[in-house]
Amino acid sequence: MAIRSVEEIKRVLDEIHQQLKTDKQLSKSIPFTLRVKSTKDRWGSVLQYAGPDPETASLLKVRRDEWTANPELFVSMMEIVPLISDPVVHIVYQCSRFDRVGAWAEMLRRCFCIVLSQLQKQFRLNAEFVAAQLREVEPHSRVEGKDVSQLQDAGSRYEALEASLGKGVTFVLGVAHARQLWELRIPKTGEGREKAIQHLKSKGIVALARENQDLRTAVFDYLLRQVDSLTMATATANQNLNPSLCMQGLPVYAVPVHVQPTMSDGLNGWGDRLYS
């Protein structure tokens, strides 16, 4: 039997599924399981989102203006590790520390993920090498290459949410839902993503993101200045290892990619400062 369209395949499978549901004996005799796939299996919990959780909302209400004026206070929970001068290794280390310890830490971790994603767009970062570098200075680290890749992908997903909902959205997602919802489950494309985004918009998240856009800009400007500083320290430390890269302020394991930095992303030309 030649099946020539998706709709025809769906119709045939639906008929088989209904027959197997009603004929248990037939179902047992067939060495296959046919189950209807729900689009809510992965992202359906986003439909329960009703706005920032009380901890997130209260924290932003009390400290948003203070953090916007002094973003170093927002970043103050970041642990400084003198032995880690490489900016990428430093970011991965910070992300590995923030294991659901509260709304503030989750906001900061999302910021780090986005910065890591931005770095990935400029370099073909070797995730395994980054993890190995971290283990050299932090022997107890359990971060593997796949974890670094997941952080990079999480950052790109947060950037996609920002593109759809506004620059400040990562500050208002809150901690009521599992991290995996935002970083793994919401589809990157397709009908499922459209429904998820529409639901979030219906809950007023675009206006909430706009309220926190200035905070987002201030924090990212501050973080990227720190990346600049760490990059120069890395270049100085490694100048005898790879002078051609270190003259450009590049990590020794990074391969430059000729991609124009996005100048409209509110990061004030970080690509020019960091990679020129």
Range picked from 24-33, 94-103, 173-182, 254-263 for highest mean pLDDT: 173-182
pLDDT band of 245, cuts 50, 70, 90: very low
What CA–CA distance (Å, rounded) separates 131 from 259? 25
Task: Quote the DSSP letter at residue 80.
Answer: P
Dihedral sign of CA atoms 67, 68, 71, 74 in order: positive
In this prediction, residue 7 has a pLDDT band, given cuts at 50, 70 and 90, of low
Distance CA 155, CA 116 (A): 7
Q: How confident is the model at residue 81 (pLDDT cuts 50, 70, 90)?
A: low
- Distance in angstroms (rounded) separating the CA atoms of residues 75 and 108: 7
Looking at per-residue confidence, does 65 or 142 come out higher? 65
pTM over 0.75: no
Q: Is the pLDDT of residue 159 over 90?
A: yes
Domain ranges of the chain: 52-275
The gap between the terminal CA atoms of the chain, to the nearest Å, is: 61
Q: How confident is the model at residue 95 (pLDDT cuts 50, 70, 90)?
A: confident
DSSP of 35-55, one letter per residue? -PPPTHHHHGGGGG--S--HH
pLDDT bracket for residue 232 (50, 70, 90): low
pLDDT band of residue 153 (cuts 50, 70, 90) is: very high
User: pLDDT tens digits for 103-134?
Assistant: 999 999 999 999 999 888 877 788 999 999 89
Task: Give pLDDT, residue 27.
Answer: 79
Pull the structure tokens for residue 116: 């890591």
- What pLDDT digit, counting tens, does each position of 205-222 carry? 999 999 999 999 999 999
- Are 231 and 88 in contact, with CB atoms under 8 Å apart? no
Checking if the pLDDT of 142 tops 60, the result is yes
pLDDT digits (tens, 9 = 90+) for 54-80: 999 999 999 999 999 999 999 887 666
Q: Which two tokens stand for residue 114?
A: 């986005």
With pLDDT > 70 as the criterion, what percentage of the chain qualifies? 72
